[in-house]
Amino acid sequence: MIVECYDLESLSNLFTYTGYRSKINTWYQYVICQWRCDAKILYEHLINDKFIQCGFNNLAYDYPLLHHFLRHWKGEYEYSYGQELAQALYAKSQYLVEELFTEVKKPLISQIDLFKIWHYNNKARTQNLKGLEIQMRMENVEEMPIHHTTWCKEGDEIPVLAYNKNDVWATYQFLLVTLGQTEYSIYKGKNKLQLRNDLNKKFHVNVTNMGDVPMGEELMLQLYCRETGQNPYYLKKSGGTPRSLICLNDCIPFWCNLKTKEFNNFLEQIKSTCVTGEKGEFQFSVIYHNYKFDFGLGGSHGCIKPGVYESDDYWMILDLDVSSLYPSIADSLQLYPEQLGIQFMQQYSSFIKKRIAEKHKPKNERDNVLIEGYKLVLNGCYGKSNEEKSFLYDPLYTFKTTIAGQLFICMWSERMVEAVPELVFIQTNTDGQTIKIPRHKLDLIRKVNEQLTKETGLGIEEAFYSKMFIRDVNNYGAVYEDSTPENEHIKLKGDFEVDKEFHKDPSMRIVPLAVKNYFVYGIPVEETIKKDRDIFNFCMQLKTNAKSVPLFKHLVDGKLVDDELGRMTRYLVVNKGGDSGILLKRFVDDGRITGVNVGYSVKIFNKAYHLDNWNDYKLDYQFYITEANKLINPLIIKELDLFE
Label residue 246 by pLDDT band (50, 70, 90). very high
pLDDT one-digit tens code per residue, 534-571? 999 999 999 999 899 999 999 998 899 999 999 999 99
CA 19 to chain CA centroid, nearest Å: 28
Lowest mean pLDDT: which of 25-34, 94-103, 259-268, 436-445?
Answer: 94-103
Question: Is the same domain home to 325 and 251?
Answer: yes
Give me the pLDDT at residue 644, please.
Answer: 42
Give me the pLDDT at residue 100, please.
Answer: 76
In a domain, 510, yes or no: no
In a domain, 365, yes or no: no
Question: Is the same domain home to 563 and 482?
Answer: no
CB 282 within 8 A of CB 275: yes
List, in order, residues 6 or more apart from 164 with CB less than 8 Å away.
7, 8, 9, 16, 17, 18, 29
Question: Is the same domain home to 176 and 49?
Answer: yes
Question: Is the same domain home to 6 and 116?
Answer: yes
pLDDT one-digit tens code per residue, 197-234? 999 999 999 999 999 999 999 999 999 999 999 999 99
Q: Of 190, 225, 260, at which residue does a domain stop?
A: 190
pLDDT at 643 over 70: no
Computed over every residue of the chain, the mean pLDDT equals 95
Question: Is the same domain home to 538 and 490?
Answer: no
DSSP state, 619?
Answer: B
In a domain, 352, yes or no: no
Label residue 71 by pLDDT band (50, 70, 90). very high
Strand order across the 26-32 sheet:
26-32, 14-21, 2-11, 51-55, 111-113
Q: Of 149, 173, 190, at which residue does a domain stop?
A: 190
Give me the pLDDT at residue 407, please.
Answer: 97
pLDDT one-digit tens code per residue, 137-159? 999 999 999 999 999 999 999 99
Question: Is the same domain home to 439 and 552?
Answer: no
In a domain, 449, yes or no: yes
pLDDT one-digit tens code per residue, 51-61? 999 999 999 99
pLDDT one-digit tens code per residue, 586-622? 999 999 999 999 999 999 999 999 999 999 999 999 9
Question: Is the same domain home to 287 and 158?
Answer: no
In a domain, 564, yes or no: yes
CATH number at residue 281: 3.90.1600.10
- In angstroms, the CA 566 to CA 134 distance is 13
Question: Is the same domain home to 482 and 554?
Answer: no
Question: Is the same domain home to 266 and 415?
Answer: yes
Give me the pLDDT at residue 453, please.
Answer: 97
In a domain, 225, yes or no: no
Question: Is the same domain home to 159 and 48?
Answer: yes
Overall domain count for the chain = 3
Give me the pLDDT at residue 122, please.
Answer: 92
List, in order, residues 6 or more apart from 387 with CB less than 8 Å away.
393
Q: CB atoms < 10 A from the CB of 610, how many? A: 7
Q: Of 163, 190, 217, at which residue does a domain stop?
A: 190
CATH number at residue 49: 3.30.420
Phi, psi of 23 (to 5 degrees): -60, -35
Question: Is the same domain home to 268 and 158?
Answer: no
Q: Which of 111, 71, 105 is nearest to 88 (CA)?
A: 71
589 class by beta-carbon count within 10 Å (0-12 exposed, 13-18 middle, 19+ buried):
exposed
In a domain, 615, yes or no: yes
Give me the pLDDT at residue 638, please.
Answer: 54
pLDDT at 639 over 50: no
Label residue 239 by pLDDT band (50, 70, 90). confident
Give me the pLDDT at residue 557, please.
Answer: 87
Question: Is the same domain home to 410 and 490?
Answer: yes
Identify the three-state secondary structure at position 430: coil
In a domain, 419, yes or no: yes
pLDDT one-digit tens code per residue, 28-52? 999 999 999 999 999 999 998 789 9
Alpha helices in 244-312, H assignment, sequence order = 261-271
Domain that holds residue 152: 2-190
CB 3 within 8 A of CB 54: yes
pLDDT at 101 over 90: no
CB 170 within 8 A of CB 129: yes
pLDDT one-digit tens code per residue, 292-336? 999 998 889 999 999 999 999 999 999 999 999 999 999 999 999
Model confidence, pTM: 0.93
CB 625 within 8 A of CB 508: no
